Chain A
Amino acid sequence: MAILSILIFPGFLFLAFYGTVFEFIDRKVYARLQNRKGPPWYQPIADFIKLLGKETIVPNEANRTVFLLLPVVTVAAVTTAFLSVPIWSTQAAMPFSGDMIVVLVLLTICPLTFFIAGWNSSSLYSTIGSQRVLTQLFAYEVPLLMSLIGPAILTGSWSLSEIAAFYVDKPLFALFNLPGFVVAILAGQGKLERVPFDTPDAETEIVAGAFTEYSGRPYAFFRLAIDMELVVLPAIFGAVFIPIFSANLFVGFALFVVKTVVILLVLTAIRAITARLRIEQMVKFCWMFLVPLALLQILINLFAKGLI
């Protein structure tokens, strides 16, 4: 049973498929906001299959094993993280106490692999790209963690499933978490490396950033991992900040889809209406605006704890 949930639902296969659907929604809505037609629904899957068929080129100076292993590590990390995120009910597939921290650590592995991938490629563009990945990591990671610590303090639990269950019991307390929700969405946009925080792979400056030297199958799996991340983050935000669940499996799943798609649409809208920030502007924005807001969130929740 456990192996099924890891490999099929809600593990790898479901996450991969849902990720490609999300990439399609993202691209289609982005295109419509720009008055374009946008791609057909099968485009992300077609892209994936096409990349699988392409030649894999490994730079001479790169460590071959590391170069080829990194995409797998990323996909594995994201999939593992998703197993502890509540989906159709407040109970995740594999919850344990303290899983929130583990999920966030697993998600930090993605940018770390991006960094190693770029550094290992030893091309100028990818080296600069990986420097930016790390710099950006230091900017968004703290506010993202703090925005989730706020709700956790109120519930007195470090498990995503228990946090979700708490807010289902006391839905009005979720209103206290609104500043945290804003911080989480913006920091999440940074984690997903999307405009305005897409400096690490700014196309017009450093080609494809850390992935410049990647091609073929390894690149396909990196793309897949990014698509999966695009699902996991909205799923976490949906579970923590929007405590709407149902006991019925099908209704619960429909609610999950609605919640994640709404968050995705917000992320897409941000992408469509902003210009790319420079890396130092991004760091400044995170530390001057997001961190104080997240601190405020923690303060609010410390006081709100007295109301329980």
Chain B
Amino acid sequence: MAKVTIPLGPQHPALKEPANFALSLDGERIIGAAVNLGYNHRGIEKACESRNYTQTLYLIERICGICSHSHSTAFARAVEEVAGVEVPIRAEWIRTLVAELERLHSHMLWLGVAGHELGFDTLFMVSWRDRELVLDLLSKITGNRVNYGVNKLGGVRCDITQEHIDLIKPVLDQLDESIKYYIELVTNERTLAARMLGVGTLNYDDAVAYGASGPVARAAGVNRDTRRDDPYAAYPEIPFNVIIDDHADVYGRAVVRALELVESVKIIRFILDNLPDGPLETRVPRRIPEGEAFSRYEAPRGEDVHYIKGNGTDKPERVKVRAPTMANAASVALMLQGSYLADVPIIVAAIDPCFSCTDRTISVVDYSSGREGTLDWQALRKYSIDWYRSQGIAFDDLSRRM
């Protein structure tokens, strides 16, 4: 059978978001793979620069639909650092509580997606059913299911009352049961193991060299977790284990995520039992002084990095977001080498990709010459005016007539 190159994406049922994988196939084996991102550029970083900090927080939370709290916490911490504001302890603990609830529902979502990619729809349905329990909790605590809007610059928006604690605790017991079931399923179900063991391998050295982060790195034995290595919020005071596995394949990633669910439940229990008293927020000045800050955050998918630069006004000079998928996407091409076409969906899904969160830049490619370059604002404006004029639409003429 001759070599064929098959495009996986930008539109493909295995992908939840547009991305493109150009796969060279020899029969069912993949002999070469290239990852092309850049179908989801939304210009969020640029949009942040024209909004004040409160509005930016609102926008940053919408970078990702799953790890929304991760992004907003990372951003808020960076701003608070520049402004020199100390966040009250209780607020830090509430942020941590929501962060762990978010990790719970994110990992459950991943389990379901992985099940679906492997044709195991029962796991998909069951884990998403249990995920609803967490989403319901979040909506009862914060009023929203996904973009909770818990964070405020300098603190949190809503309190955790005794009623909330009474609400969360029975759900945690319920989750304990289902998590136990997932762990058993992931480790014991034979068809599942047959599809995950030895698939999409990424060894320790490559994981370090390619800068993989989060569960992908931990499944390769890289002992790295920002919550422990560079503790933030309430993590310095909370005991928890960093889950490491040495399978270095999709199976390892599934095991790491399943066991992290257990840790998250433990952390939430600890927070509910030891929630300190105190105020919920510190006032943050409207104008943030000049300065820059860099904040790291262990999102469910890996390490999330935010950088901000203040210039003394109420708008940030520069906001830079590196979502965890950016760190993991590079290693996908390596994982795909030598694997079967049938394994592509699960290998891609195993890094828990979130391509819309990742896309920060686009490059302009001249279709005829294939040359890549960038366009600045003026050139882009001129290009658009010229293009519309070639279509017979002249905006300058229109505005003159109006």
Q: Which residues of B contact A279 (CB under 8 A)?
A: 28, 342
Please give the distance in Å from A4's CB to the nearest CB on chain B.
Answer: 41
Bound-complex Cα distance A304 to B28 (A): 44
Distance A263 CA – B151 CA, assembled complex (angstroms): 55
Which residues of A sit under 8 angstroms from B14, Cβ to Cβ? Answer: 204-205
User: Are A277 and B125 CB-contacts (below 8 A) given A124-B4, A198-B119?
Assistant: no
Q: A205 near B191 (CB under 8 angstroms)? A: no
Nearest-Cβ distance from residue A210 to partner chain B, whole angstroms = 15
Give the shortest distance, in Å, between A281 (CB) and chain B (any CB).
Answer: 6
A302 at the interface (CB under 8 A from B): no
CB neighbours of B343 from chain A (8 A): 278
Given A36-B125, A124-B4, A276-B195: A205 in contact with B344 (beta carbons within 8 A): yes
- Check if A196 is an interface residue, CB within 8 A of chain B: yes
A278-B119 in contact (CB<8A): no
B381 interface hit (Cβ, 8 Å): no
Q: Considering only CB atoms and an 8 Å cut-off, how many residues of chain A contact the other chain?
A: 26
Contact of A277 among B116, B123, B194 (CB under 8 A): B194
The interface residues of chain B lying within 8 Å CB-to-CB of A281 are 194-195
A202 within 8 A of B: yes
Q: How large is the interface on B (under 10, 10 to 19, 20 to 34, 35 or more residues)?
A: 20 to 34
**Is A34 a contact of B121 with CB atoms below 8 Å?**
yes
In Å, the complex CA distance between A281 and B191 comes to 10
Q: How far is the CA of A156 from the CA of B180 in the complex (A)?
A: 53
Please state if A33 and B122 are interface contacts (CB–CB under 8 Å).
Answer: yes
CB–CB A196/B125 < 8 A: no
A204 in complex: contacting residue of B191, B340, B345, CB < 8 Å: B345
Chain A residues closer than 8 Å to B189, beta-carbon distance: 274-275
A207 touches B13 (CB 8 A): yes
Residues of A contacting B117 with CB < 8 Å?
Answer: 204
Contacting residues, chain B, for A207 (C-beta < 8 A): 12-13
Q: In the complex the two chains form, what is the Cα distance from A111 to B304 in whole Å?
A: 49
Contact (A204, B194) CB under 8 Å given A278-B342, A279-B342: no
Task: Using known A-B contacts A196-B191, A204-B14, A207-B12, determine if residue A275 contacts B118 with beta carbons closer than 8 Å.
Answer: yes
Nearest Cβ on chain A to B188's Cβ, whole angstroms: 12
A195 sits at the interface (CB 8 A): yes
Please state if A202 and B342 are interface contacts (CB–CB under 8 Å). Answer: yes
Known: A204-B117, A277-B195. A34 touches B342 (CB 8 A): no
Contact in complex: A128, B341 (CB < 8 Å): yes
Confirm or deny: A174 has a beta carbon within 8 angstroms of a beta carbon on chain B.
no
Chain B: CB-nearest residue to A203: B13
CA of A281 to CA of B28 in the docked complex: distance in angstroms?
A: 13
Distance between B97 CB and nearest chain A CB, rounded to angstroms: 28
Q: DSSP majority for the B interface?
A: helix
Inter-chain CA distance A279–B192, complex, in Å, is 14
Contacting residue for A275 out of B13, B192, B340, B341, CB 8 A: B192
CB <8 Å contact, B195 and A204: no
0/1 string, B110-128, CB within 8 A of A gives 1:
0000011111111101100
A277 contacts across to B, CB distance below 8 A:
191, 194-195
> Roughly how many angstroms separate A36 CA and B340 CA in the complex, as a whole number?
32
Could you tell me if A34 and B122 are in contact, using CB atoms closer than 8 angstroms? Answer: yes
Q: How far is the CB of B125 from chain A (nearest CB, A)?
A: 4
Most buried by B among A195, A198, A205, A277: A205
In the bound complex, how far is the Cα of B119 from the Cα of A195, in angstroms?
A: 7
Asked if A8 is an interface residue, CB under 8 A from chain B, the answer is no
Closest partner residue, chain A, to B121 (CB atom): A34
A112 CB to nearest B CB, Å: 20
Is A272 an interface position by the 8 A CB rule? yes
Verify A275–B195 contact, CB threshold 8 A.
Answer: yes
Shortest distance from the beta carbon of B65 to any chain A beta carbon, whole Å: 20
Do A272 and B122 touch (CB < 8 A)? yes
B140 part of interface (Cβ distance < 8 Å):
no
A127's nearest neighbour on chain B, judged by CB, is B4
Q: Look across to chain B and name the residue whose beta carbon is closest to the beta carbon of A285.
A: B194
Is B283's beta carbon under 8 Å from chain A?
no
Q: Is A199 an interface residue (CB 8 A)?
A: yes
List of B residues within 8 angstroms of A196 by Cβ: 119, 191
What residue of chain A has the Cβ atom nearest to residue B125's Cβ? A34
With A205-B342, A205-B344, A207-B12 known to touch, is A278 a contact of B120 (CB < 8 Å)? no
In the complex, the answer to whether B116 meets A124 with C-beta atoms within 8 Å is no
How many whole Å from A32's CB to the nearest CB in chain B? 11
Tell me the minimal C-beta distance from B16 to chain A in angstroms: 11
Contact B119 A275 (CB under 8 A): yes
- Which chain A residues in 227-284 approach chain B with CB under 8 Å? 272-281
Residues of A within 8 A of B342 (CB): 199, 202, 205, 278-279
Known: A35-B125, A204-B119. A275 touches B344 (CB 8 A): no
- Minimum CB–CB distance for A274 against chain B, Å: 4
Q: Which residue of A lies closest to B345 (CB)?
A: A204
Complex Cα gap A273–B343 (Å): 20
Separation of A207 and B344 alpha carbons in the complex (Å)? 13
Q: What 1/0 mask marks residues of chain B from 275 to 286 whose CB sits below 8 Å from any chain A CB?
A: 000000000000
Q: Does B171 contact A (CB under 8 A)?
A: no
Closest residue to B190 on the A side, CB-wise? A274
Query: Within B2-36, which residues are at the interface with A (CB < 8 Å)?
Result: 4, 6, 12-14, 28
Cβ 8 A contact of A276, one of B4, B13, B119, B126: B119
A274 pairs with B126, CB closer than 8 A: no
A interface vs B, CB < 8 Å? Answer: 33-36, 124, 128, 195-196, 198-199, 202-207, 272-281
14 of the cross-chain contacts (CB-CB < 8 Å) are A34-B122, A128-B341, A195-B120, A196-B191, A204-B345, A205-B14, A274-B120, A275-B118, A275-B120, A277-B191, A278-B194, A278-B340, A279-B28, A279-B342
**What is the interface of chain B, defined by CB distance below 8 A to chain A?**
4, 6, 12-14, 28, 115-123, 125-126, 129, 189, 191-192, 194-195, 340-345
Top-6 shortest CB links A-B: A276-B119, A275-B120, A34-B125, A275-B191, A204-B14, A275-B118
10 further interface pairs, Cβ-Cβ under 8 Å (given A195-B121, A274-B191)? A128-B341, A195-B119, A198-B119, A203-B119, A204-B116, A274-B189, A275-B120, A275-B195, A276-B118, A276-B120
